[in-house]
Amino acid sequence: MRREECAVLSHTEGRASFRIDDGRLLSTSIPHPPPTGGSDRLYLLPASAYHAFRPIYDTLSGMGFYNLNPEQIRELQSPDPGDLLKQDGSNIASVLSNLKSRSPESAARIAQYLSKVVPGTVGMESKTVGPKLTLEFRQEVRGDPHPWRFLAHNVSDGTLRVLGVLVALYQGIGTESGNAELVGIEEPEGALHPAAAGVLTDVLREASERVQVVVTSHSADMLDRDTIPSDSILAVISENGETKIARLDAAGRTALREGLFTAGEMLRMNQLARSGAGHTGTVGPLPPGGVIRDENRPYWRRGSAPEPGVEISAVPGHVDGHVPGRSSR
């Protein structure tokens, strides 16, 4: 850790701060500061013993960022308290067991959503196998009145990833602190049938009413819901080794706001761009003819994907533009 700096401004306690360079404490407002412990760890950890820095520590430690790995979810897992799902989902059995004991309603909601994504699935639970834990799924099978039971190692990647997403989103319910303050999920649509992407979008939106949710996605199917606010979508692009993130440009926001296209349709046509990406055209409210002008862009219409530089007549009620980029929320 080469440099660490933290400053907190409180109405009751004023300003508290510290600055660390290469493991050395350069400045701090702490009267009797604890030792740094070297450059291989954050100073925020010992500093959190002081009241001014505790909220920062609690917020950051309550964030969960997930790149769920079905292979890790399949493995037999060592029991743990199950307070927060690990990044790869490798303690999901403990988290699900903990959640079912705290909030049976939330566990039932997870099972309900899972059954919509994976038809025939009627439930799942944590199961003890010797000193380890795993997941057991119940699946309806034609001709048998009783659901069949399958352990996690017999279940598809898509099912395990969806369950991981659901548990990540619902894990904090029933606790005093809520545990996860922010949930970030990388490409939750991975290994998922495109037809189920809309259900996943509904789950994310429902969860966002309780916890901050950030998702990166390449899936146009996930963005096909016209209920997604344009302000909830950020465009991401890589230029010269730099990742740049910003709100959609004015043309994109207007197209979504006026209901001309869904974000998924715009993504399929490569028409989601971040603001400040170099376009100089001005965009105002949708005019009576329904056409928005940007002199730096060729025209396009719904269902068309023109070659660069090809001009296509604008159709009333649609927007013109050519924008590189991809979307994430």
Residue 43's nearest CA partner among 53, 58, 52 is 53
Architecture of domain 62-225: 3-Layer(aba) Sandwich (3.40)
Confidence of residue 307 (pLDDT cuts 50, 70, 90): very low
CA distance 140 to 265: 35
Residue ranges per domain, the chain?
Answer: 3-60, 62-225, 249-329
CA distance 93 to 85: 9
Per-residue pLDDT at 250 exceeds 70:
yes
At 53 the three-state DSSP class reads coil
Confidence of residue 104 (pLDDT cuts 50, 70, 90): very high
CA distance 300 to 320: 5
Whole-model pTM: value is 0.73
Q: Give how far the C-alpha of residue 20 lies from the chain's centroid of Cα atoms, to the nearest Å.
A: 31
Confidence of residue 271 (pLDDT cuts 50, 70, 90): confident
Per-residue pLDDT at 115 exceeds 60:
yes
